[in-house]
Each structure stands twice: as C-alpha cells, then as structure tokens.
Amino acid sequence: METSGGIRASLAGRYASALFDLARDQKQIESVGKSLDALNQALVDSKDFSELVESPLVSRDEAGKAFGAIALQLNLDPITSNFVGVLARNGRKSQLQPVIRAFRRLAAEHRGETIAEVVTARPLNDDQLAQLKTQLRTRAGRDVNVDATVDPTILGGIVVKLESQRIDASIRTKLNRLAQAMKG
C-alpha cells in the first residue's frame, strides 16, 4: 500500500498534501473532496477545460483567470477555489488531475479506506461498480473506493490497481501475450 509518505514524494503529492492538510485543519475534507470531484468531472466533460489544463501556451495569468471563472461556475468551496488559483499562478495547472488522485488517496487513508484505480474500455454502470466494490472489499479486507477511468485502447476487460497489486485482465494484454507466444 502506498503510504502518505510515498504520495508526498511527487510534485502532485506535495500539492495534494498541502491541500489535504489545510482541508483537515479547517474540517473541510469532504467539501474539498466534492469540489475536486466536480473539477475532475469537468475535465472529463469539457474538452476546452482539459485542453486549458494541458496547454503550455496558456500563460499563468490567463490560466488563473480561467480557473477563477471555472471555480465560480462549478461553485467550488473557497479552499479549492484558492488552491486551483495557486496551481495556475505557479505554472502547475497540468498537475490538476494527479493532485486530485493524490488527494483522494490521502482522504481515503484518513477514513481508513483504500482506493482502487480501475481502467475499463467502457464506463461501468452502477450495478457493475457495486459488484466490483464488493469483490475488492473482500480482497482488501476494508472499504474500497473506486477511481474509475475509461481507456478504449485496452479494447475490453479491466485493469485494477489495488494497493501494491495490479490485475490486468484487458483484451489488449491478452492479445499481446498471445502474439508473444506465437513469436517464440
């Protein structure tokens, strides 16, 4: 299992740790988590927003203004609104998604939970997600939150990273193994 010390070793982890510490001190972990979830969903839903976050051509001032407008539009809590402004002004807007992931890990650890990173070719429906959580809870021995992402390049199946374990049951991996077996 990755400890908070491991999370804090990366750039995104240091930013996430600072945000988490501030949220914890102000007893706002849940509201900051919800705001970060809203930002993460905006990254998924809005091509313009995701391009803004990734573009090196957007200046720090322009990014700060855009993040401020997005914070208002998404009705983010004050801590998160200030934080995304700091990311933009420090030229670290591209770290937004890794910061969100690291914050989720820290918050889950704080609640005594663990996070499973799940990649599928298509979005999971609510029933599939519930079944997966049940299976992962049994495997981990404690509550598990699922951080699900969609990656059509895996073609089908699922890839799960739970604590130090990685389970790759994707069709892409199976095809690669088959190709290797046929070669050698």
**Last residue of one domain, picked from the residues 73, 107, 141:** 107
> For residues 99 and 16, is the Cβ–Cβ distance under 8 A?
yes
Q: What is the CATH number of the domain that holds 142?
A: 3.40.30
The whole-model pTM stands at: 0.76
142 and 167 in a common domain: yes
163 and 78 in a common domain: no
Q: What is the CATH number of the domain that holds 58?
A: 1.10.520.20
pLDDT at 15: 94
The boundaries of the domain holding residue 23 are 4-107
- Write the DSSP symbol of residue 77: -
pLDDT at 24: 96
145 and 81 in a common domain: no
Regions of the chain short of the pLDDT cut 70: 1-8
pLDDT at 10: 85
**Last residue of one domain, picked from the residues 65, 91, 107:** 107
142 and 85 in a common domain: no
161 and 90 in a common domain: no
156 and 124 in a common domain: yes
149 and 96 in a common domain: no
> For residues 93 and 64, is the Cβ–Cβ distance under 8 A?
no
In the chain, the number of structural domains is 2
Cβ atoms < 10 Å from Cβ of 160: 20
131 and 60 in a common domain: no
